[in-house]
Amino acid sequence: MDILVVEDEKRLAQALQQILTEAGYRADAVYDGRTGYEYAKSDYYDAIILDVMLPLMDGFEVVNKLRHDGISTPVLMLTARSQLVDKVTGLDSGADEYMTKPFEPEELLARLRALTRRKGEVILDELSFGNLTLDLNTRNLSSGNKSVRLSSREFEVLKLLMINPKQAISKDQILTKVWGVESDVVDNSVEAYVSFLRKKLKFLKADVAINTIRMVGYRMEMLSE
Ligand code: CA
């Protein structure tokens, strides 16, 4: 799960990143409101931890603009100020939760779990498509009695395709989701990983394939289709 931290106190931002990483999230940190808005607008993140007092654009304005853009990513507002008026403004502007600094990491993580659950995310142990089963805990990909363990990149790429079967996924979406927003990886590494995955599908005698959709990206389909 990917979390965006928007916090101008760099030490706190880094501490948050560390707490989140240790809890198994992937976290990006940015240090001003405008950059936070630009990142959040990509609709890439599963939740946003947003400070109120920020340079260039304050947290209320960020969340306001996001909601106006139709971005419904859950927002946990963070602020040193604890006045009721802030709380009301924060919730009015579309924030989902509100927390005052200082806070306990456990409380932050608990609120984050509640927020991301609220979004309707189902915790899955495996994904299936055709005769393939991808174990989300062990990264084992199996069909019938054959199984292979995927590398973490292969796993992330295949997971994205299997979560959205029969839907075209662009190389950009794969790059952003698997390598991250700030990645300077070129898109032929997506091709390389797709080619590794195709070899594994062949070895597993999968009845599904990763098809190339010209000018668009990739799509997982049943072989018969
Ligand atoms: Ca601040």
Predicted TM-score (pTM) of the model is 0.53
- pLDDT attached to residue 91: 66
Nearest to 69 by CA among 96, 37, 92, 24: 37
Ligand 1 centroid vs 186 CA: distance in angstroms?
35
Ligand 1 centroid vs 83 CA: distance in angstroms?
15
- pLDDT attached to residue 154: 94
Q: In what order do the strands lie in the sheet with 217-222?
A: 169-170, 217-222, 208-213
Strands (E), 114-172: 126-129, 132-135, 140-143, 146-149, 169-170
Spatial distance between the Cα atoms of 48 and 93, rounded to a whole number of angstroms: 14
Q: Which CATH class is domain 2-119?
A: alpha beta
- pLDDT attached to residue 157: 94
Joined together, the tokens standing for residue 165 give 């079967």
- pLDDT attached to residue 101: 81
Phi, psi of 63, deg, nearest 5: -70, -35
- pLDDT attached to residue 137: 78
Joined together, the tokens standing for residue 185 give 């990886």
Give the domain ranges of the chain.
2-119, 126-222
The answer as to CATH 3.30.565.10 being correct for domain 126-222 is no
- pLDDT attached to residue 49: 95
Ligand 1 centroid vs 9 CA: distance in angstroms?
6
Ligand 1 centroid vs 10 CA: distance in angstroms?
9
- pLDDT attached to residue 181: 66
- Taking the chain (225 residues) in consecutive chunks of 10 residues, what is each chunk's mean pLDDT? 94 93 91 97 92 91 90 86 61 75 86 74 74 90 94 92 90 84 72 95 96 93 81
- pLDDT attached to residue 89: 67
Ligand 1 centroid vs 20 CA: distance in angstroms?
19
